[in-house]
Chain A
């Protein structure tokens, strides 16, 4: 029973980790309607920035989020402005996806060039220490990630519902043409949203860096799992991505123990396929409005 509880706890914590990566991904998808394959590399870039800042200035990695999240915002905004936006008028929308795949490979190899393939270790500053909840061991860092993921989801929801900018973002997502007629600068909204999505993963990277060794390829695994979470929760749904991530974290941990570590990915991706077949809109998703395709 203790083992079972421990696995459930591990699964939930893993879910929190996936969630903080998946939230930005689903935000960008939901609004800009671009699947950002470079999202994992944004995470990697953020983790390296965290590593450099926290070792260079000898500060707690969490404090570096104040610089890393804005830096990632700029990276995301530039990606939209310089890479995606020129392609938005392209005849085939899929070109944008290929562009993000290209960006992903470019960033990964840039990191290899700059940092080499060796792992970089962000000092833990105490976040690798354990807390016992009854018989269950959890790292304090994992709890912080989990808490931050919840706050991020609530914060984004409030922003989207309560602020003028948030409403403009949702309006653009719902009907780009109508939003433009209402005087919303849709191009600015896309740049802003892409930046926000990247800033979310920037925040996540400062929290994740002290828990995992950073390497140029760290993003690839995270982003694959984050896709599954996003699809499970419903493409574009922010709370959906969070709950999707928790489900995937649990499935991952439980199947890793009860079915075998060699099959856990098979289980996760079987679920992914089943969702696509049985409920393509996901747990929280609604039908996508692709009005920007023919404005």
Chain B
């Protein structure tokens, strides 16, 4: 009943919208308010810049793109806004979403309506793991992140400290939403596969105001490598409370979110020095590996009057450019025409501003997506891993 009503409503409003508008509408669904607004907005800026660049160059298939914003402040509203974008605004596809849980909720609605949904930033496995027909993801995933963290321990940290990787005592902590849980799950699984000694895996709510017990627990277990997948508040809390408890692991590897933000580094001061971070491509990277990055930065600064606050805008820009240009190279904006167009995308590694290529493989996941390993050195987040993208030496040990 609901589905039927929805589909009818979709069809009717799509017809109405199609007749009234000359431009082609795409939805941009991000958390613009609420706790995730900062990086939601940052992600959206990437999409906005991509659309402006494409429109300035004549649009796609001769039509200008009209980007309609939807605010995914929580999961319920993500669903509501997806419905609104599809049935009232008549968008041809939705781009989003930064947050995995919002993406999972909203893409379900798009799938039922047969509207393509392009995920450019959410990392949780379930986003593509559900084998939806109309969902495509351009960005690297929780699995990429988990594996990259472990590889960094094996390739750089253990040799740098002059010990066997299997002698390291590793503690995994993570915020307990879908994002942190899935990254931690892959770290645990892949770490065990490589014979690493992971002594504890613990979740906590990202809004927590106290992590002292967790810090004491890690200290008590003799942990010397900490992997934390977190947002901003909990990154600050962990670093501060570790220092206050006299807990000094040999390496801290942050996963995305909070660890990539300058504001986090400012909040904890010197404690950030030497901290490692696996995340989407950021800006201090070897630009031979990321053509177009400098132009993106100029466009960003011109439009927003500041430097990007994180790499989210860049990765959303790259994803949006790839998808929209792919659609532009196709024929028509009907769902199946869009799907056929994006399935033909074939961009090799080293040819986008984020370094990774774009090609949709199993489960409609971009099988060329990758992350980068970074380190805070002298107050700046610089790429140190892998070596062909690095701009600075990996610093570990004394």
**Which residues of chain A have a CB within 8 Å of any CB of chain B?**
3, 6-7, 10, 14, 17, 108-109, 112, 116-119, 121, 128, 130, 137, 139, 212-213, 215-218, 220-222, 252-257, 260-262, 264-265
Q: Is the CB of B35 within 8 A of A130?
A: no
Cβ contacts under 8 Å, B203 to chain A: 261-262
Cβ contacts under 8 Å, B35 to chain A: 117, 215-217
**What are 24 A-B interface contacts by the 8 Å CB criterion?**
A3-B220, A6-B216, A10-B216, A109-B34, A117-B39, A118-B263, A119-B263, A121-B263, A121-B266, A137-B244, A139-B244, A212-B209, A213-B237, A213-B267, A216-B35, A217-B34, A217-B207, A221-B205, A254-B213, A256-B212, A257-B214, A261-B203, A261-B204, A264-B213
Q: Is the CB of A119 within 8 A of B264?
A: yes
A262 to B209, alpha carbons, bound, how many Å? 14
Cβ contacts under 8 Å, A256 to chain B: 210, 212-214, 217
Specify the chain B residue showing the minimal Cβ separation from A212. Answer: B209
Specify the chain A residue showing the minimal Cβ separation from B174. Answer: A262
Is there a chain A Cβ closer than 8 Å to B48's Cβ? no
Q: Is the CB of A14 within 8 A of B38?
A: no
Q: Is the CB of A121 within 8 A of B233?
A: no
Is there a chain A Cβ closer than 8 Å to B202's Cβ? yes
Is there a chain A Cβ closer than 8 Å to B37's Cβ? yes
Contact code string B253-279 (vs A, CB < 8 Å = 1, else 0)? 000000001011011000000000000
Contact A261-B211, Cβ < 8 Å, known A117-B35, A117-B37, A215-B233 = yes
A3 to B210, alpha carbons, bound, how many Å? 16
Q: Which one of B38, B216, B266 contacts A3 once the chains associate, using CB atoms below 8 Å?
A: B216
Cβ contacts under 8 Å, B208 to chain A: 221
Is there a chain A Cβ closer than 8 Å to B245's Cβ? yes
Give the contacts of B256-306 with A (CB-CB under 8 A).
Answer: 261, 263-264, 266-267
Q: Which one of B214, B216, B236 contacts A119 once the chains associate, using CB atoms below 8 Å?
A: B236
A136 to chain B, nearest CB (A): 11
Cβ contacts under 8 Å, B9 to chain A: none
Q: Which one of A109, A137, A218, A220 contacts B33 once the chains associate, using CB atoms below 8 Å?
A: A109
Q: Is the CB of A118 within 8 A of B309?
A: yes
B269 to chain A, nearest CB (A): 9
User: Which residue, of B212, B245, B267, has the highest number of chain A Cβ atoms within 10 A?
Assistant: B212
Q: Which one of A137, A221, A255 contacts B246 once the chains associate, using CB atoms below 8 Å?
A: A137
Cβ contacts under 8 Å, B39 to chain A: 117
B210 to chain A, nearest CB (A): 5
Q: Is the CB of B207 within 8 A of A220?
A: yes
Specify the chain B residue showing the minimal Cβ separation from A262. Answer: B203
Specify the chain B residue showing the minimal Cβ separation from A138. Answer: B244
Cβ contacts under 8 Å, A128 to chain B: 240, 244
Q: With A112-B34, A130-B244 given, can you name 10 additional A-B contacts, CB distance below 8 Å?
A: A6-B245, A10-B213, A10-B216, A119-B236, A213-B236, A213-B237, A213-B267, A217-B35, A217-B207, A262-B176
Specify the chain A residue showing the minimal Cβ separation from B42. Answer: A117
Cβ contacts under 8 Å, A262 to chain B: 176, 202-204
A5 to chain B, nearest CB (A): 11
Is there a chain A Cβ closer than 8 Å to B36's Cβ? yes
Cβ contacts under 8 Å, B216 to chain A: 3, 6-7, 10, 257
Q: Is the CB of A112 within 8 A of B37?
A: yes
Give the contacts of B166-211 with A (CB-CB under 8 A).
Answer: 173, 176, 202-205, 207-211
Cβ contacts under 8 Å, A212 to chain B: 209, 237
Specify the chain B residue showing the minimal Cβ separation from A129. Answer: B244
Is there a chain A Cβ closer than 8 Å to B75's Cβ? no
Q: Is the CB of B205 within 8 A of A253?
A: no
Q: Is the CB of B217 within 8 A of A261?
A: yes
Q: Is the CB of B267 within 8 A of A261?
A: no
Cβ contacts under 8 Å, B202 to chain A: 260-262
B45 to chain A, nearest CB (A): 13
Is there a chain A Cβ closer than 8 Å to B232's Cβ? yes
A128 to B236, alpha carbons, bound, how many Å? 13
Cβ contacts under 8 Å, A6 to chain B: 216, 245
A198 to chain B, nearest CB (A): 20
Cβ contacts under 8 Å, B261 to chain A: 118
A260 to B203, alpha carbons, bound, how many Å? 8
A124 to chain B, nearest CB (A): 10
B75 to chain A, nearest CB (A): 16
Q: Is the CB of B210 within 8 A of A137?
A: no
Q: Is the CB of B207 within 8 A of A253?
A: no
Cβ contacts under 8 Å, A260 to chain B: 202
A109 to B233, alpha carbons, bound, how many Å? 18
Q: Which 8 A-B pairs have the closest CB atoms?
A: A256-B213, A117-B38, A257-B213, A262-B203, A117-B37, A221-B207, A217-B35, A10-B212
A157 to B34, alpha carbons, bound, how many Å? 37
A108 to B73, alpha carbons, bound, how many Å? 12
Cβ contacts under 8 Å, B209 to chain A: 14, 17, 212, 218, 221-222
A6 to B247, alpha carbons, bound, how many Å? 13
Specify the chain B residue showing the minimal Cβ separation from A221. Answer: B207
Q: Is the CB of A261 within 8 A of B233?
A: no
A217 to B206, alpha carbons, bound, how many Å? 11
Contact A253-B309, Cβ < 8 Å, known A112-B34, A217-B34, A261-B173 = no
A252 to chain B, nearest CB (A): 7
Cβ contacts under 8 Å, B220 to chain A: 3
Specify the chain B residue showing the minimal Cβ separation from A17. Answer: B209
Cβ contacts under 8 Å, B240 to chain A: 128
A156 to B308, alpha carbons, bound, how many Å? 48
Contact code string B44-85 (vs A, CB < 8 Å = 1, else 0)? 000000000000000000000000000000000000000000
B200 to chain A, nearest CB (A): 9
